[in-house]
Structure formats: C-alpha cells, structure tokens
Structure 1
Amino acid sequence: MMPADSLDDGSPVVKEDRLWCDNGWTARVIKNQDDDGWAVEMLKDGESEPALVGPWTMGRDKKNPKPLDAGAFQTLVKTASEVLRRHEQHLYALLHKNITVSTEDGPVEVRLEIVPDDYEPHAILSAHDTLDAMLAEVRVSAAFKLDRRSAAAWVESGFLPPE
C-alpha cells in the first residue's frame, strides 16, 4: 500500500498554500512580474514550460495570495488541459490539410501532411478516392502550398510530382 502522500506511480502529492502537485500537474502561486499582485502557473509533469499562467486572487490581508484549495486546483487543471488540447489541435491543423476536388470519376480528396523534421522537413501529398483508397502519393517541399488550384492541377496532371 502506498503512503498517503504519493500517487500509485510514486510521484509526490503536495497540498500547500502556494504549491499543489497532484494528478500529473503542479500549480504554483508566484509573484506577478507585471504588477504587485500574484499569478498562478500550471505545469504538466515532464514539461519545462508552464501550460498556463494567469492572475491569482489576493488573500484577505490584501498582501499575500489566497491559498490554493482542491476546487481551485481542479479548475486550474481543467483550464490548463484545455489550453494544451487547443494547442495540439492548432498544431495538427497546421501540419494536416485536405481539399476535395471534383473529377469525372468522382471526388478526390487531396491531403498534405507536413513532416517537421529538424534536418529534412518535407511533406507528403496524397490523393484518395471516396473509399479512402490511395490513388497517388508524392513527397514535396514542406513549403508546398495546398489550395484548390494546386490540388486540381495535381489531379489533372495524372498525379505527376508538382514543381
């Protein structure tokens, strides 16, 4: 049986006025750099940068921060998780694009998947029919611009590698 001050994975559970560590997250109340107030930062375990930094409420003495509590911590975890989820969705949208082109044989979905490699960034351009069967695939520059015109031109060329 694990001690009450650690989780099943062995990570410590800390519940102090200015520091909570639980469920893979750390909430830390810090001095606000921009003014005389306080801020709270949410850091996901294993990450070097906070997922969320926001203002924190002053305590009753109007000098010290309000202590963290279970309700505030859960709200902060939920908000920080949502920020990370939106960031992941935005990154996915930047790296994956698709456009459907009408042809005599039916619609063709043209997809561009950017591979952000530090040494050799590139993209994979592919075409798929309505049953998601791949019709063609070519490697292109990571800077390739997929739009309706370029997708249609690639399909009309018989899937020759774009220039």
Structure 2
Amino acid sequence: MTSDAIDPAADLDPLDADAAVKEPRLWRDNGWTARVIKNEDDDGWAVAMLMDGEPEPALVGPWTMGRDKKNPKPLDAAAFNTLVKTAKEVVRRHEQALHALHHKSLTVNGPDGRIDVTLDIVADEYEPYAVLAATDAAGEPLAQVRVAAGFKLNTASAEAWIAADYRKPG
C-alpha cells in the first residue's frame, strides 16, 4: 500500500472536518472517510475506511477496477454505505475480541451457593493490573482485590481464593 493508505483523510481540510465530500475516489460522511488508493503491491486499487478521530483505518481492502481496467471504479452512495457497514462490523468485532481478552468470568460453588468470579485486566501502559471480584447468586458483591495482570483465573484459582476468605492471592 502507499503511505497515504495510512492517512485516508490526508487531503481533507481540517477546518471543514464535518463537511460531506462525495468525489469519485474520496467520500466523507457520517463520521467516516473512504479513500480509493493505488495498491503498490499489484496493479489494482484498494479502499481505506477511516473513522473520524482515529489515526489508523478501520478497514483496508481491495477495490474494483473500472470498465477501462486501468482506473478504479468511482465511489458511490451504495458502495460507501456498504463500506461503512463493513468497517463498523470490523470495529465491533475488534472491540469484542479486546473485551474477551481483558475480561474473564466463571461460576463456582461456594460454601453458601453459587459464586460468580470475574477477572478484569486494566491494560495500563506502565503498570497493568487486574481486578479479581466475586458476587453471590443475587449479584451482591462479596469481595474485590487487585492482582497481577498475569493472574490466571480458572476453577482451581477461584476456589482457592474463596477458601482463603478472599485474601489477595499470591
């Protein structure tokens, strides 16, 4: 990809950031910018979708050649709307994957019934850590402690924490 694939909004006037643009190779509307760019890896074209305020494109993918088989097909409303929908789905899936990576939960049997145990990793750039918490079957908090970001939550570690009266593990 060319370097302008990194910044699809490079040619846009920052003073006019909210203005809609509808050009054959550049569309901006509803918080998204689509830019058709030359694919340096081959003879084709690519399209980059950038959400307003984000430094990196949410989606970069191949773009259709025009009828002359040399230039890209121009962007239009239908294509732009499809690209926005696809880019939003990519962003949503990325957020879900990040959430799954940083939030774990399981249920164990405690002395007084079911206990839900969660581990929420706080990905601080300098001092990452995690919060280990327990709630009873009614959702009432039982305990919460700060643990190392690398703490492994599994049935054995949850049961051991409960058996130790919720004292900080390790």
**Other-structure match for 2:102:** 95
What letter corresponds to residue 20 of structure 1 in structure 2? W
What letter corresponds to residue 102 of structure 2 in structure 1? L
TM-score of the aligned structures, taking structure 2 as reference length: 0.88
1-structure distance, mates of 2:110, 2:23:
64
**Aligned pair 1:121/2:128, yes or no?**
yes
CA shift at 1:117, angstroms?
1.1
2-structure distance, mates of 1:119, 1:152:
30
1-structure distance, mates of 2:115, 2:41:
53
Matches within 5 A, 1:3-18: 11-18=18-25
Identity of aligned residues (%): 66
What's the RMSD between the two structures over aligned residues? 1.2
Determine helix, strand or coil for the equivalent of 1:65: coil
1-structure distance, mates of 2:122, 2:88:
25
Matches within 5 A, 1:72-151: 72-151=79-158
**Other-structure match for 1:65:** 72
1-structure distance, mates of 2:164, 2:59:
48
Q: Deviations over 1:58-116 (max 9, x none)?
A: 00000000000000000000000000000011111111111100123111001111111
Equivalenced residue count is 155
Give runs of ≥4 in structure 1 deviating > 2 Å: none
TM-score of the aligned structures, taking structure 1 as reference length: 0.92
CA shift at 1:10, angstroms?
6.5
Long gaps (5+) in structure 1: 1-8
What letter corresponds to residue 76 of structure 1 in structure 2? L
Q: Deviations over 1:110-162 (max 9, x none)?
A: 11111111222111101100111111111100111111111111112211211
